[in-house]
Structure formats: C-alpha cells, structure tokens
Amino acid sequence: MSAGGGRTVRPVAVASFAQSQNVRRDDEHNEVEMLMPVVAEVFGNIGITKDDVDFICSGSTDYLIGGPFSFVTALDAVGVWPPRAESHVEMDGAWALYEAWVLLQEGEIDAALVYAFGRSSPGNLNEILSLQLDPYYLAPLWPDPVSLAALQARALIDAGKGSEADFAAIASRSRRDAMSNPKAQVAKDIPPATLLEEDYVVAPLRRHALPPITDGAAAIVLAAGDKAGLWSKSPVWITGLDHRMETHSLGARDLTSSPSTTRAAEVAGVADGPVDVAEIHAPFAHQEIIVKQALGLDDTVTVNPSGGPLAANPLMSAGLIRIGEAAASISSGRAKRAVAHATSGPCLQQNLVCVLEGE
C-alpha cells in the first residue's frame, strides 16, 4: 500500500458501531449467526444496506475456529452476491479498520463495513494461544497467555512502575464502570481490598487482573466526507491512525514499556490536543498502566468508561470495540476528543492508536 499511518488527509468518520452481547459461552449460534444481527444493526443504525458500502474488511483468526479460511464462511453474514470487494486480516478488527481507512485515504472507496468476531469458548484458550507464538523457542514450552502476562507484571513491579494494589484498583474500577454498559460480560462493584484476597492464578496475577473469556462480535461502518455527513448528524472523525510492532523475541524487549504504542501515538497525533476519554485495549490489568504511560496520558483522562477488556474480551473484536466505544463517548457528549488503542500478540507486542474528534 502506498499510504502509511498518520494524520488524516481525507476526512473519514466512524458512521456507525454495533456489538453483540458479550458472553462467556454462546453455544446456540455459529460465527455467521453471531454476526448477522450485528451487521444488521450497524447498517440499520444509519439506514443503509450492504449496497451502500464499497468495501468489506474483517478481522478474525482461524486458530479459534480450528479450520482454515473460516473468514470466507463468515461473509455469509453480509451476503456477497453480486460479488464485492473484500479483504480479511488474521488480526483484531481494529487492523481491518486500518486497512479500510487506508483505502479511504487513497480515495479508492467512499464507505466500508468493518467487522470482527471470535468465539473463545469452544477450545482450550491457553493451548490455542500458545500455538500462535514462535514455533521453535516458545510454542514447544506451551507458555500460556496468563503466564506471559505475569512475567510482564512482575517486571513492572520490579521496576517500581506498578503494584498488585494498582492492578486490583484498575480491575475494580473497570468492572464497576461496566455496570452501565449493557453489553459487558463482567460488571460488578467489588472493592480492591476484597480482590486482593483472591488466590494467584499465575503470581503476581490474581483472577481479577485477567480478562474474562468471551464470545462476541462487533462492526463499524466507516464513511468519507459527504457520505458521513449524509448518514450521521454528528459524525465522529478519525483524525489520526497508526500501528507499530515490536520484535516477537520477548526477551529482547523491555516489557515494562510500550515503544510501539508511543510511536503510533506520535504518528497519530495524540498529543495534538487534550484527550477526554481513552479506550485502552489492555486485556490484563497491569497493561493499562503501560499503555496509558506510552500514550502520554495523565490522570485527567477518563480510561475505559465502557469497562474495557477486563469487562468483556471477545478475541479479535475487543480492539475494534475500543474504537467504537471511543466514538460513542464523543457521540454521547461525554468527550470532545478521544483515543482508542488496540493490541495484538503477547505482552502488548503490536499496538494501534486511533484519535477521534467530534464536529
């Protein structure tokens, strides 16, 4: 692609956002059935149909389904006759949104549907995610995602950048805020002191510092310029978008910082104005500390008013949902300017930063 990340050249808006109910286990629907109402809602919100978008891009992973090219089947949730321009990333839907945004920047399309889905419940998530690691040095040891996150949390504690009490405070706040999010999976008001009485899952991480296992899906319609204004009275504009990646060699990284987030934030222009709300894709509580610092946000910023991924962590759509929730916080008047972050890979290996503003 000729366009890289950065500040928006052609105005592009989040015209519509929808997500499924986030649940621990959805046995009653396959991926297509889970997506269909979400796709119907994201179009229905703004009174359009699939004929109004020029491009479809999705994010999902074959590892969860256990079969190759599973995203092709998922297209049935949209319906692709007559034939449509379509693409897929084996990543969180936030990266599918990035691909669509690049095409919009280049002027190749005027509107796009982005969706993402994942059912974590059918398999053994610890084993499945271990298989996505380096096949020679890491996967043969079967280090599960909780263990890798725990190594990062210990490094953070050793560096004096966070404590177990901090992790509990983040988890407590997130799940309390989720009580006002009807789509959240885990919403409850438990004080940090009570959470700290839990046993460790993998020390220094207790149960509350881990994300829930979630089945869910989400979708966003992106629209450029005039179309955005036509479809929405108060469009939310993407003013900057970028993603960066660090090495997959865990032992060659400083796990207590996130230089890829910092770089993406610089390119996307996070510091160009005040930030009211940040939706941070930090599946493990301690990662919020790292990402918040990497984004350069202070304590005046409201973090994850939706409850964030500690309240619902549908794999492959949890990052896309951050963009949708950040846009929603602007639509609702809570924020004038918001930042959304998405992550992928072990210990925040890859990070995407999206800056959004109202009219």
Partner 1 sequence: MPESEALHASHRLEYPYSRSVGPVIGAFLTGLREGRLLGVRGAGGSVIVPPTEYDPTTGGDTGEMVEVGPGGVVESWAWVSHPLPKHPLPSPFAWALIRLDGADTALLHAVDSGGPDQLASGDRVTVRFRPAAERIGAMADIESFVPQGGAPR
**Cα 73 to chain centroid, rounded:** 23
Q: Given the rule CB under 8 A, which of 74-82, 247-255, 313-321, 336-344 is the region that contacts partner 1?
A: 247-255
Residues of this chain, 136-165, that bind partner 1 according to CB under 8 A = 136-138, 140-144, 147-148, 150-155, 158
Residue placing its CB nearer to partner 1 in the complex, 74 or 184 = 74
**Cα 66 to chain centroid, rounded:** 22
Residue placing its CB nearer to partner 1 in the complex, 52 or 144 = 144
Q: Is the bond into 204 cis (omega within 30 degrees of 0)?
A: yes
Helix (H, G, I), strand (E, B), or coil: what is residue 316? coil
Number of other residues whose CB lies within 10 A of the CB of residue 51: 9
204 binds partner 1 (CB under 8 A): yes
Residue placing its CB nearer to partner 1 in the complex, 47 or 251 = 251
Residue placing its CB nearer to partner 1 in the complex, 1 or 252 = 252
* Residues 205-244 as x/- pattern, contact with partner 1 by CB under 8 A: x---------------------------------------
Helix (H, G, I), strand (E, B), or coil: what is residue 357? strand
Question: If binding means CB under 8 A, how many residues of this protein chain bind partner 1?
Answer: 36
The residue length of the chain stands at 359
Report the C-alpha gap between 267 and 261 in whole angstroms. 10
7 binds partner 1 (CB under 8 A): no
69 binds partner 1 (CB under 8 A): no
Residue placing its CB nearer to partner 1 in the complex, 171 or 301 = 171
Which helix (H) or strand (E) segment is 142 a member of?
none
Q: Given the rule CB under 8 A, which of 123-131, 212-220, 264-272, 310-318 is the region that contacts partner 1?
A: 123-131
203 binds partner 1 (CB under 8 A): yes
Q: Is the bond into 82 cis (omega within 30 degrees of 0)?
A: yes
Residues of this chain, 278-317, that bind partner 1 according to CB under 8 A = none
* Residues 14-33 as x/- pattern, contact with partner 1 by CB under 8 A: -------------xx-----
Q: Which CB contacts under 8 angstroms, 24+ apart, belong to 46-54?
A: 46/15, 46/16, 46/221, 46/231, 46/232, 47/231, 48/221, 48/231, 50/78, 50/79, 50/84, 50/113, 52/111, 53/111, 53/112, 53/113, 53/221, 54/85, 54/108, 54/109, 54/110, 54/111, 54/112
Q: Which residues bind partner 1 (CB under 8 A)?
A: 27-28, 66-67, 126-127, 130, 136-138, 140-144, 147-148, 150-155, 158, 200, 202-205, 247-252, 255
